Amino acid sequence: MTLTSDSAVLDLVTSAGNGDVVPYTSYPLDSSRVLLGLVNLVRRAERDTAPERADANLCSLISPRVFRSLLNSLLFRDPATLRHSQRVGRLATGLAKYLGWEDRNLRAIQIAALLHDLGKVGVPDSILFKPARLNSDELRLMTKSYLIGVDLLEMCRVDPLIIRIITDSHHRYSREPGGNAIFSDIHQGARILVVADAYESLSNDQVFRRAKAHDEILKLLNENAGTQFDGNIVSALQRWIHTYGPPALDGTMNDDDSLIHYYQPASDAELAEAANFSHLFSYMQTLDELYDGFSIIDCSRRMLVWNRGAVKTHRRPAREVLNTIWKPQVFGYADDRGVPLATSQCPLEAIFATGSSYAATLNMTDGEGEPVSVELQAFPLIDRNQRLQAVAEIYRRTERDEASNVSPEVHALKMMASRDALTRVANRGELDSQIEQLLKKYNSESQSEVFSVIFVDADHFKSINDKHGHTVGDQVLVELARLLQHESYSGEIIGRYGGEEFIVLCPATDVELAVRKSERFRMSIQSMRFADYPSLRITASFGVSQVVNGDTVASLVERADKALYQAKQTGRNRTCHLMTTDARRSAHRFSTDEEEDPLRLMQRFYIGVGQSVVPKMAGFVEAHRAKLLVVEPGRVKMQCGQGTIFGMWGWTNSTRPVILEIVLPELLEEQRGHASRRGPNSPEAICVTIQPKGRPNSQAIFQNRAKLLMQDLKSYLVPCDRQPGMGV
């Protein structure tokens, strides 16, 4: 079968067997006929939603006939693209199954993989098969084509899960700047699809490069893990391949694939329909380039099509518009002077009355009640029997937003403005923007989801620069950022706050879970090794805080910074967090001086040179009936006060247990292999923290008891003044 066309007529011809060609169909290629093909596709999708028409193998995710038609369109446009999609589907479903996906979700990711390149149906050969890097205009057209493919799937009533996977797969794993989506919103199915797509593409020859070997592909995926790809999905792919061997990507289909009958060769009639789809894509691309949105209303005044451009122009979600009955008062039609139009003067009613096209500049009311000025064109969709089937409306805002037409070069500049130049993670400005978005979401939803901030600081980083040089120091920061990205698998946002400080923003994470994440980060950092510097070791300290009502970006980050300071002061290489009471006070009194926590007493002081802490503590332990919980070089933790045979009921204010922790920060650092920063005659720094075990009867009673304990402890340890000029 051969497709030929001129500027006005489309001829689909078949071979007559003797070398001649016989016309299959021939008709003018006008807007009405092209959009009628879309109307028929949508109606077919709606009819197939009936249970008796459903295909159990498709799990009601997509109309069987629409699915077959879309696959035929890919086959007609470029058989290699369909084969690529089939191989990606095999990879994506295998990887998803390995990760525990089942049943309907597994089928959804397979269908998403098969249709993720649907937008290529409308891409010209000069771009689709270009044997070189695409220029900025070509890249922009490719991006628009992908979006048009998603548009068509939505019009065909494809399940939202498939739409979500395909849409999210066209975002980079590291969230692009300037968007409204939160990074953690990228669906796991999309992350799987991106990795499967990249692996398949790299394993086969392309017009612009040769195929790469398996090990080389994995190396490239790992190098881009945490930025372009989800590092945990890449690791899962490696484990899957290590366990079951590299997948067969030879283009053959599995006999046990229940969708195999959808891949059967297309009939002549199906190929004719596929040819029309190609023109539908091209037409939708033209609409997307020149206008801001379009809709189609059938003769019963039912909203049949409402594309993403119409959603953006009118600020009305498709779910609120599709299948509803068109009502002029909903859209608030008015002329360019603001005078409301009578129902008979509205574009739709005018076309039903006259059968003629319509064009005017109108004021309409969007979904938020705001006026929007549009150039509106409307025209009837007439079938070949000259019957009116539907009306199409095309919208163009009089004040167009050109942001969607920015070139890749401008986009690259925006990326540079949001990324740290050294580590390529988010910079401080982007972090603030992301926290601001999460705060808005937290404050605007009645069932708001908490999130947490983790402040990370590399310990003794200056000594690395001093000993090994700034080049090595920079490499340590790059590796530290990469480790944080690889160890993040729940949508965390990693950013460099400045110097050796990083922030991990954790959506949908309370403080307890954030502390556990911090500990995982801390242990991984402690285990880092550097091939060129085998003796180099690093540790990091962590401060954690959870959002509370009334928080601002500044108060939330400041609270995490205070927790980090506490971790630094109590020995480094540890995680500290502020209690909920601390958080609430910090949010509401952020501008005041630092206050003490009523449920924690913490003091730092010094003891004289040569004093031994443990012998001096023996009398204190005996006097307060203390139970030692932790005894290690540089740290002692004990419970002062004990329960009675009556449990909690036997406690008095003077015997209620409290937890007392003593830390010698400098000794801890020396035990971890860091050079001592104090002179031989320097006093020993001690940090003491006292907290209640359980909930005390009152904060005042706890404070009184804690202060008495602290005073008694000092009588045993005998604090001294810090000598001037001595480092800590």
The predicted-structure confidence for 667-706, as pLDDT tens digits, reads as follows: 766 665 555 555 555 677 788 888 887 767 677 888 888 8
Give the pLDDT mean for 461-470: 91
Q: What percent of the chain has pLDDT over 90?
A: 23
As annotated, the active-site residues are 500
Q: Which two tokens stand for residue 57?
A: 């193998």
The CATH number of the structural domain formed by 419-595 is 3.30.70.270
Residue 258 clears pLDDT 60, i.e. is over it = yes
Q: What is the pLDDT of residues 75-114, one digit of tens each?
A: 888 888 888 999 999 899 999 998 888 888 999 999 999 9
Instruction: Return the pLDDT at 26.
Output: 39
Q: Find, among 365, 362, 396, 380, the residue nearest to 297 by Cα.
A: 380
| Strands of the 9-15 sheet, one edge to the other | 2-5, 9-15, 21-28
d(CA 117, CA 143): 11
Taking residue 223's Cβ as centre, other Cβ atoms within 10 Å add up to 13
Residue 724 clears pLDDT 50, i.e. is over it = no
Matching CATH topology for 419-595 and 599-728?
A: no
Taking residue 88's Cβ as centre, other Cβ atoms within 10 Å add up to 25
Q: Find, among 18, 17, 1, the residue nearest to 76 by Cα.
A: 1
With cut-offs at 50, 70 and 90, classify the pLDDT of residue 409.
low
Domain ranges within the chain, ordered by starting residue:
31-273, 293-399, 419-595, 599-728
Instruction: Return the pLDDT at 714.
Output: 81
Domain 599-728, CATH class in plain words: alpha beta
Please tell me which of 170-184, 185-199, 255-269 the model is most confident about, judged by mean pLDDT. 185-199
- Name the residue type at position 476: V
Question: Please, is 559 exposed, middle or buried when counting C-beta atoms within 10 Å of its C-beta (0-12, 13-18, 19+)?
Answer: buried
Contact, 189 vs 353, CB < 8 A?
Answer: no
Q: What percent of the chain has pLDDT over 70?
A: 78
Question: pTM of the predicted model, to two decimals?
Answer: 0.59
Region class of 616: left (phi > 0), else alpha (psi between -120 and 50), else beta: alpha
Instruction: Return the pLDDT at 648.
Output: 40
Instruction: Return the pLDDT at 646.
Output: 39
Instruction: Return the pLDDT at 22.
Output: 35
Q: Find, among 517, 499, 496, the residue nearest to 507 by Cα.
A: 517
Instruction: Return the pLDDT at 55.
Output: 72
- Name the residue type at position 106: L
Residue 503 clears pLDDT 90, i.e. is over it = yes
Instruction: Return the pLDDT at 422.
Output: 87
> Which H or E run includes 264?
none
Residue 535 clears pLDDT 70, i.e. is over it = yes
Contact, 665 vs 689, CB < 8 A?
Answer: no
> Which H or E run includes 396?
strand 388-397
Tell the residue number behind the tokens 């046990």, with chain if given.
Answer: 256
3-state secondary structure (DSSP) of residue 547: coil
Per the model's pLDDT, the better-predicted residue between 399 and 227 turns out to be 399
Q: Where do runs of H (alpha helix) occur along 229-315?
A: 231-244, 268-290, 308-314
d(CA 217, CA 233): 14
Q: Which of 325-329, 558-562, 628-632, 719-723 has the lowest mean pLDDT?
A: 719-723
Please tell me which of 52-66, 123-137, 490-504 the model is most confident about, judged by mean pLDDT. 490-504
Residue 11 clears pLDDT 80, i.e. is over it = no
Residue 149 clears pLDDT 60, i.e. is over it = yes
Q: Which CATH number fits domain 293-399: 3.40.1000.10, 3.40.50.300, 2.60.40.10, 3.30.450.20?
A: 3.30.450.20
Per the model's pLDDT, the better-predicted residue between 170 and 98 turns out to be 98
Per the model's pLDDT, the better-predicted residue between 264 and 4 turns out to be 264
Q: What is the pLDDT of residues 21-67, one digit of tens each?
A: 333 343 445 677 888 888 988 988 888 766 666 677 787 889 888 89
Give the pLDDT mean for 350-376: 89
Residue 650 clears pLDDT 70, i.e. is over it = no
Contact, 83 vs 251, CB < 8 A?
Answer: yes
Backbone angles phi, psi at 16, to 5 degrees: -90, 0
Instruction: Return the pLDDT at 490.
Output: 62
Q: What is the pLDDT of residues 283-311, one digit of tens each?
A: 888 888 888 999 999 999 999 999 989 99
Tell me what the pLDDT averaged over the chain comes to. 79
- Name the residue type at position 682: S
With cut-offs at 50, 70 and 90, classify the pLDDT of residue 236.
confident
Q: Which two tokens stand for residue 424?
A: 């390529």
Is domain 31-273 in CATH 1.10.3210.10, yes or no? yes
Alpha-carbon distance values, 76 to 126, 462, 631 (Å): 17, 62, 74
Q: Find, among 227, 233, 203, the residue nearest to 217 by Cα.
A: 203
Burial per residue of 348-387, b for 16 or more beta-carbon CB atoms within 10 angstroms, e otherwise? bbbbbeeeeebebebbbbbeeeeebbbbbbbbbbbeeeee
Instruction: Return the pLDDT at 267.
Output: 83
Q: Find, among 391, 330, 318, 394, the residue nearest to 364 by Cα.
A: 330
d(CA 489, CA 491): 6
Instruction: Return the pLDDT at 501.
Output: 95
